[in-house]
Amino acid sequence: MRRCAQRPPKRALLTDSNVHIIRLYQDIQRGSLTPGLAKAFLAEEGEKLRAGGEAHYYAVRDRFNSYPTSLDFLFLNRSCFNGVMRFNRHGKFNVPYGHKPERFAQAYVTKITNQIRRIAEVISACEWMFAATDFRRTLATAQLGDLVYADPPYGGRHVDYLNS
Ligand SMILES: C[S@@+](CC[C@H](N)C(=O)[O-])C[C@H]1O[C@@H](n2cnc3c(N)ncnc32)[C@H](O)[C@@H]1O
């Protein structure tokens, strides 16, 4: 039996109101987002970004807003302005282009790939459930003896998730 690395909880419920973050972890958990897939995708999209510039960025952003996927989510996080994550009131990602195609250099892609591999290793050794829920609903499921770790939004940063 594999042991949990650095002793994370064996059983845990991990939640966030951001469905895209939760989908990313769920995709890693079910094996539909692998290090190999992410590496190939980011290398290819990075090439297209270098060639197409902001037109390519906005094409991917439109694609993501019509049909969100974890791969496009990763791409947008790398290519948008300052890695900001912001959505309009209809839930559409609306961060402008960051004008830094060098963020898809091989070393960065390898770093992201390694992070996905590490996450997959940790998750596969544990019984974790990921869910997109408001923290109030999550807290309502807590029982006596449960450990609750809350990581709330930071105030005064380039984010507007604090307003919700
Ligand atoms: C400081 S970040 C922590 C993210 C995560 N714990 C991590 O380490 O990557 C704060 C998170 O709170 C989430 N959040 C904001 N309002 C929330 C709410 N009402 N219920 C649940 N999560 C919320 C945001 O989507 C954001 O991911």
Largest CA distance in the chain: 56
Supply the pLDDT for residue 157.
62
Span 46-64, mean pLDDT? 97
Please, what is the average pLDDT of the chain? 92
Which tens digits make up the pLDDT trace of 117-127? 999 999 999 99
Supply the pLDDT for residue 2.
57
Choosing from 128, 148, 149, 161 the residue with most ligand 1 atoms within 8 A of its CB, the one to mutate for a pocket test is 161
SS3 per-residue string spanning 85-97: CCECCCCCECCCE
Within a domain: 84: yes
| Ranges of H-type helices in 7-92 | 19-30, 35-52, 54-66, 70-79
Within a domain: 52: yes
Which H helix or E strand runs over 136? helix 135-140
Contact 138, 14 (CB under 8 A): no
Within a domain: 49: yes
Span 89-104, mean pLDDT? 94
CB of 155 closer than 6 A to ligand 1?
Answer: no
Within a domain: 135: no
Total domains, the chain: 1
Residue 3 has pLDDT above 90, yes or no: no
Residue 6 has pLDDT above 70, yes or no: no
Residue 97 maps to which CATH number? 1.10.1020.10
CB of 21 closer than 6 A to ligand 1?
Answer: yes
Supply the pLDDT for residue 163.
57
Range of the domain at 99: 33-124
Confidence of residue 152 (pLDDT cuts 50, 70, 90): confident
Within a domain: 139: no
Supply the pLDDT for residue 7.
78
pTM score of the predicted model = 0.90
Contact 15, 130 (CB under 8 A): yes
Q: Which atom from ligand 1 is nearest to the alpha carbon of 134? A: 20
Within a domain: 20: no
Which tens digits make up the pLDDT trace of 13-54? 999 999 999 999 999 999 999 999 999 999 999 999 999 999
Supply the pLDDT for residue 154.
73
Helix axes 70-79, 54-66, angle to 10 degrees: 140
CB of 110 closer than 6 A to ligand 1?
Answer: no
Residue 164 has pLDDT above 60, yes or no: no
Least confident of 71-75, 78-82, 155-159: 155-159
Choosing from 17, 77, 160 the residue with most ligand 1 atoms within 8 A of its CB, the one to mutate for a pocket test is 17
